Amino acid sequence: MFQKYFFTSMTRISDLESRPFEVRVLPQEQWETGDYVVGEVISPSGNHLVVELPTGRMTEVMEGDLVVGAFGVRRATLEAVGDWQSIGDDGVMQAMTEGGLFGRVTSESFLADPMASMTYQGHVVREGKKVCMQDFAPDISETNYQCPTVMVVGTSMSCGKTTSIRSIISQLKRSGLKVVGAKFAGAGQYHDILSMEDAGADAIFDFVDVGLPSTVCPEDEFRVAVHKLLAKIAAEKPDVVVAEAGASPLEPYNGSIVLDEIQDQIRCTVICSSDPYSVLALINSFGLHPDLVSGIATSDSAGVELVEKLTGVKALSLPQRKSLPHLQELLQEKLGF
């Protein structure tokens, strides 16, 4: 009998939409991060639940709909904390991101919209074996990453990284450069990196491309994934890479490992912050030496002045047109183009 599934963007590296599969309930001792699973929506947020499709388009699903996503872990400071290990015998779980990161929410911010619940219907199975994201991860030999990189680091989520990255990519493209946009850490949602493509990036990548639903994972596993991701980026032969290290290198998304792995290729570091004081905290606690501060903290002249007073670092409100000549000058100085 025909069964309609809604495939989330976690499945965008797979062939689940084009090849048949079975759904089978597996005992919890066989569950792992990255497993593709099916959930049935049981309590939509309000009158609907929005999920992100493999194309990045958002669509609404209703109670009773079947959604395919992946088990993972989330540790978002402003939204929710949860993991698949916390799913109980009742099989109730949540779509912890619109992109299809499935797990049981254990703590939820009062600032966040309620997350719809689902019941675990089973694992995606083929030929008796469960299907997981790693099955579709590329088998890439490590490469010597030599790409000049602009690194964008946040003090938290929702601090203005995406807007700043768009401005940076746009300026680099105006100079005729081949630009790759990459997100190295966080929880997988395709629209985060599609915004880089919208700004003009010639190619875009994130950790989902190498089989991770989020970067809350063991350090050794993450380093392997980073090396594969760096190899994919290097194969594009970009003039410059604009990279995001995730919400903050101090959070459990392994952003500090990204900085460690490519520190020799970072030509320009931009900190995006939600408030001026968190910039100072990140500089002092992590030892970052940014070339520029942007984000919500610099949304008006008072914020710009306070950031510069506290840190001694140039601050710009990148969405403002008057900031672009200063950004262009900084990029030319740091990248040498």
Are the C-beta atoms of 57 and 189 separated by less than 8 Å? Answer: no
User: What distances in angstroms separate CA 233 from CA 55, 120, 238, one per listed residue?
Assistant: 20, 35, 8
Cβ atoms within 10 Å, residue 86: 13
Q: Look at residues 276, 329, 272, 285 and name the one whose alpha carbon lies nearest to residue 303.
A: 276
Question: DSSP strand E in the chain: where?
Answer: 6-7, 22-24, 36-43, 49-52, 58-61, 66-71, 73-75, 80-83, 92-95, 101-108, 117-126, 129-130, 149-154, 179-183, 203-206, 240-244, 266-272, 292-294
Which pLDDT tens digit goes with each residue over 23-48?
999 999 999 999 999 999 997 655 56
Which of these ranges, 23-37, 69-83, 94-108, 245-259, has the smallest mean pLDDT?
245-259
User: What distances in angstroms separate CA 243 from CA 113, 151, 187, 233, 335, one per listed residue?
Assistant: 28, 5, 15, 11, 14
Residue 247's pLDDT band, with cuts at 50, 70 and 90, is low
pLDDT, position 166: 94
Flag whether pLDDT at 118 surpasses 60: yes
Q: Which three-class secondary structure state does DSSP give residue 281?
A: helix
CA pair distance 200, 223, nearest whole angstrom: 28
Mean pLDDT over 130-134 rounds to 97
DSSP 122: E
Q: What percent of the chain has pLDDT over 90?
A: 64
pTM to 2 decimals? 0.91
For residue 87, which amino acid is it?
I
Write the DSSP assignment of 243-270 as a string of letters.
EE--S-TTSTT-HHHHHHHHGGGEEEEE
Q: Which three-class secondary structure state does DSSP give residue 157?
A: coil
Flag whether pLDDT at 13 surpasses 80: yes
Question: Measured in whole angstroms, how far is the alpha carbon of residue 25 from the centre of its chain?
Answer: 29
Mean pLDDT over 135-142 rounds to 84
Are the C-beta atoms of 231 and 140 separated by less than 8 Å? Answer: yes
Residue 109's pLDDT band, with cuts at 50, 70 and 90, is confident
Question: Tokens 């009158």 sit at which residue?
Answer: 47
pLDDT, position 45: 55
CA pair distance 209, 188, nearest whole angstrom: 10
Q: Which three-class secondary structure state does DSSP give residue 102?
A: strand
pLDDT, position 229: 94
Q: Look at residues 121, 41, 222 and name the one whose alpha carbon lies nearest to residue 51.
A: 41
Question: Tokens 């089978």 sit at which residue?
Answer: 24
Flag whether pLDDT at 316 surpasses 80: yes
CA pair distance 267, 221, nearest whole angstrom: 27
Q: Which three-class secondary structure state does DSSP give residue 335?
A: helix
Residue 108's pLDDT band, with cuts at 50, 70 and 90, is confident
Flag whether pLDDT at 218 surpasses 70: yes
Q: Is 39 exposed, middle or buried (0-12, 13-18, 19+ CB in 10 A)?
A: buried
